[in-house]
Chains A and B, each alone.
Chain A
Amino acid sequence: MSTEIKLSGGLHAEIMHDLTRTHPFAAERVGFVFGRMGSHGRLILLNRFHSIPDDQYVDDPAVGARIGEEALTWAMQAVYQCRPTREGIFHIHLHGHKGEPQMSRVDSHEIPRLLPGFQSMDRDAAHGIIILSLDHGSGWVWLPGDKGPCQVDSINIIGVPIGVFEQEEKR
């Protein structure tokens, strides 16, 4: 059974607009996007985006962007407050190239460390990581009860034009 993420064209445009803005000192931006699992559990429907305020970034030239304690606390609280509706949280950022994005060395070292915290706030929701590129996207999902991630088979943008971003080895 494949794992898929869907979001509307409007939400995708909102995310891209936010992540492509320049930051006073960080080289890139990150954000959080929320979503719910469809009834069969491997379809995740994203429904809203949270832009991280400029002052919640930490100035760290060693990485493209680092967010501080305030942003992470906000995210943990948001996951906790979403428990009744079983909305999960996805860390999202943009790689400024075309084609299928992959986690960089820094991404794979740093971002997955956030996930156990999100899972501890709500074990019944799916949480994860999404990396967009200029014309593609990749995702990793920690499904309820799973200790590790599964790679998303496709991210579908329901806009105009429709985007079906498939993991290359699945094509």
Chain B
Amino acid sequence: MSTDRYSRQSFLGASAEAMISRCTIGIVGLGGGGSHIVQQLAHIGFQRFVLYDDDVVEESNLNRLIGATSADVLAETPKLHIAKMMIYGLQPAASVRGFACKWQEKPEPLRECQIVFGCVDSYKGREELEIACRRYLMHYIDIGMDVYGKERPVIGGQVILSSPGGLCMRCMGFLTDDKLAQEAALYGNAGHHPQVVWPNGVLASTAVGLAVDLVTNWTCRGRSHAYLVYDGNDATVKESITLRNIKIGTCSHFSDSDVGDPILVEL
């Protein structure tokens, strides 16, 4: 199956093309971040996708949604359709299972993935995805950005890798009860987060790089967790200071033996 198409990425290893084509990737959220990820994965050679997004293209998406055009606003094209067209345009033989609903309404296909990208807005959404990934043995890669302040705006963002057996987003100091409680207090009044195309591109590219390393281990780092912080004003991506300073080696929030759906046991 090897062709000239992948000759420029042959440094990934002799079997990389086959490994990439066999891996099933889940992407939850196909907006500003997810659309970049879809495009890059299809270019790299990924063939098996499980996609979730229940939204349609709106005018306010055109500042960042890769693949969407003005015509899609008029047609109210589902973002899922934009993603499928992107994949099939690059990988005509790809297997794409797309669901125009919340992943929680149709979780079974997601559970078959090896890697899941979370491109969701809320901490609660991230927590739920990470729990699903731990219980169903999937690598979870989270991306997110925000803009803080009005007079002198600061663009921030993160890329996090959470793998079964490795540190989780709570261990790494990203998810906290305080953040979840503050978000819950704003329920229904959170408004829209600022979103622009270039930070999404940086974060998505970084996340895709982690995924390719998970599949091929081309860096030989064997990385089971990562917390990378984006500073959009300084144009840098660095390892989180929080992660660097924590002194824990194993996750205390998830047990390796707790797999599958929780079950009530009579005592």
Contacts and interface: CB of A to CB of B under 8 A. Distances in A.
Contact of A11 (B111, B114, B256, B266): B256
Interface in B220-245: 221-224
Contacts of A4: 112
Interface size for chain B: under 10, 10 to 19, 20 to 34, or 35 or more residues? 35 or more
Given A45-B260, A156-B114, A162 B136 contact: no
A82 to B, nearest CB: 11
Interface string B20-46: 001110000000000000000000000
Interface stretch (B72-80, B123-131, B211-219): B211-219
B3 interface: no
A84 B256 contact: no
A47 B256 contact: yes
A38 B111 contact: yes
14 contacts: A8-B164, A8-B165, A8-B256, A37-B260, A39-B111, A47-B256, A47-B259, A48-B257, A84-B265, A158-B138, A160-B222, A160-B223, A162-B215, A164-B22
Given A10-B256, A160-B214, A164-B23, 15 more contacts: A4-B112, A6-B136, A10-B165, A11-B256, A39-B107, A39-B108, A40-B108, A43-B111, A45-B259, A47-B259, A48-B256, A160-B217, A162-B139, A164-B22, A171-B22
Interface of A: 4, 6-11, 35-40, 43, 45-48, 84-86, 156, 158-162, 164, 166, 171
